[in-house]
Structure 1
Amino acid sequence: MPPITLALLAALCLAAAPLSYAAKARAPARPASAPAPPTTAEVLQASSAGDWRALDASHTLLMELASGPVLIELAPRFAPRHVANILTLTRERYFDGLAVLRVQDNYVAQWGDPDAEAAEKARPLGKAERKLPAEFDVPLRGLPLTPLADADGWAPVTGWVDGFPVAADPRRQRAWLAHCYGMVGAGRDNPADSSNGTELYAVIGHSPRGLDRNITVVGRVLSGIDKLSALPRGGNNMGFYDQPEQRHAIRSVRVLDELPPEQRPALEVLRTDTATWRALLEARRNRREPWFVHRSGHIGLCNATVPTRPASKPTS
């Protein structure tokens, strides 16, 4: 898909505007003989192999908790310095044996080094960088954005890039990853440039879009978000656990390309630059399944999660 242009963005904004009553009255009715639009299940069932993509083994992490695996896809297009640092930390086994330190209801689950504030006890960073610039947004121009026509209260334009939910401001020509359910960010202190990827969190509640452009977002959980969202909630201090024994140990974190092919999770991800994705959005916007009484005619950016499906495990 060609890069999104200002003309296209203007057209999308017009398309998203509600029709007047008179305009609706003039709209031609769908002929009674026309086939009913497909349901979400029918759209996915009709997809072709080319509508799906394999995992990028060099930018996907497998985090093993006691409760099971969590698969995290990183976003180097939006946070290249942080992603590079996280990959370095992972390959040097920085995260192995650390813990989930915080689980705040309807907000985030956060993991890292419980001794990070004590210099004499903190885990060494090895070859990883200790200080990085904030990576809150990137240039909009040239991004292969698949736009969403529906209005969004947080940004003039929204859509998807590489399957990640993205918000954008055409006037400023900037774009950023949105804080939807399952997105992964790099925790920081008050200074904007105080994150380096050693402390990460995943959104486990209603999308906290007010965090957009305030924290560097580094990726998203593709599978296993239930392993984080089902953890016991922490205490009154923003969900941090009061006692060390309450923390949940991280057994290991690996980059997928460190694992033999037969040990890698066998998943495919639906591409968001396809006609199938656009058809799926429409099917979700106006649900045709028999259970639905009312069709909303609208879908929010964070309501449209990108599907995955099992893929055949490689044999060599």
Structure 2
Amino acid sequence: MIRYASALLTASVSAFALAAAACADASTDTRNADTAATQEADGSRYARDGIPSGPDAARQIIADAPEAAWRSVDPDRLLVISTRHGDIWVELTPEFAPNHVARIRDLVGEGFYDGKVWHRVIRDFMAQGGGASDNPALAADRPTLQAEFMISRGLDTNITISELQDRAINPRESSTRARAGFWNGIPASTIPFAQAAIRADGRVESWLLHCRGAAAMARTNDPNSARSQFYITTGNPAHLEAVYTVWGRVRAGQDAVNAIRVGTMGETMGFRPDFIMSVRMASELPADDRLAIEVFDTNTPDFALYLEALQAANNGRLPDVCDIEVPVRVAR
């Protein structure tokens, strides 16, 4: 299970943290966002003198964005977790946690999570599920998983993470910093990619963040102990960064996550946990029961303009990456 005291950062994290600290420059917190937003991109409907301004500028940019600024989520990458509060739609991220995603798919395919409970739920932190109503420590009869806290990206990678601001790698462990931004509309951090060109192995470490709506694997103090229990964040627990494996992101239904009954089995007097009614892949549902989910593409010039509007509304400083809402459109 998740514990408040996270495990120490691994030796590899410590090594790349020192490299990140050497290259961090607080004055560049918003340079990338500014530069991208001020470039007139091919196919963009905006010219510099046509960008909305004022308190509603960000919403107007989203409303006016062309269809090309939206990315459709593949139903075969969407996990649907049904609860009495509504369905939770989670986009899987096998690019960052292939073995964890494969385990989730395997367990979902055999109906393992159906009828399990949200046995440990802490307000403004996370909702942990996968335990049984008579055994909160239940785990699937599967081998433990090796940690996938981060990936290693080389110069030949097709995974692009925007570098918008400096951010502590894990504030509970140290003050060392990396760069934070987005990958496919998901908050992420990375050692500055420019370092790949000067490193001996030509690679840098990158990871998905525990911003509100992150889906990640629970474990014991052993980093390689995850089996089947998972959690979804309802806060921004930065102390879990780079020491727990994030394997997905809520795209719709975060309100249902927030509504799950708070308490811990065996600890909270009178606690009656909410149930996981079922978990399915969206691609397995009848077409009429699926949501069509589109995410604002964080690699587009339209998103850069959106960031510029948010920055202007925040006294000239870009909000923390966890506080930047990536717009989502949902339809049946």
TM-score class, shorter-chain normalisation, is 0.7 to 0.9
Q: Secondary structure, in 3 states, of the residue corresponding to 1:226?
A: helix
1:211 to 240, 257, 280: 240
TM-fit CA distance, 1:295: 2.3
Structure 2, unpaired ranges of 5+:
1-18, 32-48, 170-176, 196-202
Write the letter of the residue equivalent to 2:167.
D
Residue by residue over 1:221-274, the C-alpha shift from the partner in whole angstroms, topping out at 9 and shown as x without a partner, is 11111112123321598xx6555x611011111001111222101221111111
1:275 to 2:293 alignment: no
The corresponding residue for 2:36 is none
Q: Secondary structure, in 3 states, of the residue corresponding to 1:61?
A: strand
**Structure 1 length as normaliser, TM-score?**
0.78
1:66 to 2:69 alignment: no
Kept in 1: contact 2:78–2:282 (CA 8 A): yes
Equivalent runs, 1:155-304 vs 2, <5 Å = 155-170=177-192, 173-196=204-227, 198-205=228-235, 207-234=236-263, 241-243=268-270, 246-287=272-313, 295-304=315-324
Kept in 1: contact 2:263–2:273 (CA 8 A): no
TM-fit CA distance, 1:37: 4.0
Kept in 2: contact 1:145–1:159 (CA 8 A): no
The corresponding residue for 1:84 is 102
Kept in 2: contact 1:286–1:297 (CA 8 A): yes
Equivalent runs, 1:139-154 vs 2, <5 Å = 139-141=152-154, 142-154=157-169
Kept in 1: contact 2:161–2:188 (CA 8 A): no
Query: Per residue, is there more helix in 1 or in 2?
Result: 2
Residue by residue over 1:178-212, the C-alpha shift from the partner in whole angstroms, topping out at 9 and shown as x without a partner, is 1101111100011111013x11111112x111211
Alignment partners' CA distance in 2, 1:101 and 1:236: 6
Write the letter of the residue equivalent to 1:15.
T
The corresponding residue for 1:21 is none
TM-fit CA distance, 1:282: 1.2
Write the letter of the residue equivalent to 1:138.
I
Write the letter of the residue equivalent to 1:74.
L
Aligned length: 273
Equivalent runs, 1:5-84 vs 2, <5 Å = 15-16=28-29, 37-38=52-53, 39-84=57-102
**Structure 2 length as normaliser, TM-score?**
0.74
Pick closer, same or farther for the CA change 1:41–1:93 going to 2, 3 Å.
same
Write the letter of the residue equivalent to 1:283.
A
Structure 1, unpaired ranges of 5+:
1-5, 19-33, 288-293
User: For the pair shown, which has the larger CA radius of gyration, 1 or 2?
Assistant: 1
Pick closer, same or farther for the CA change 1:36–1:308 going to 2, 3 Å.
closer
Write the letter of the residue equivalent to 2:168.
G
Q: Secondary structure, in 3 states, of the residue corresponding to 2:81?
A: strand
Pick closer, same or farther for the CA change 1:56–1:116 going to 2, 3 Å.
farther
TM-fit CA distance, 1:298: 2.3
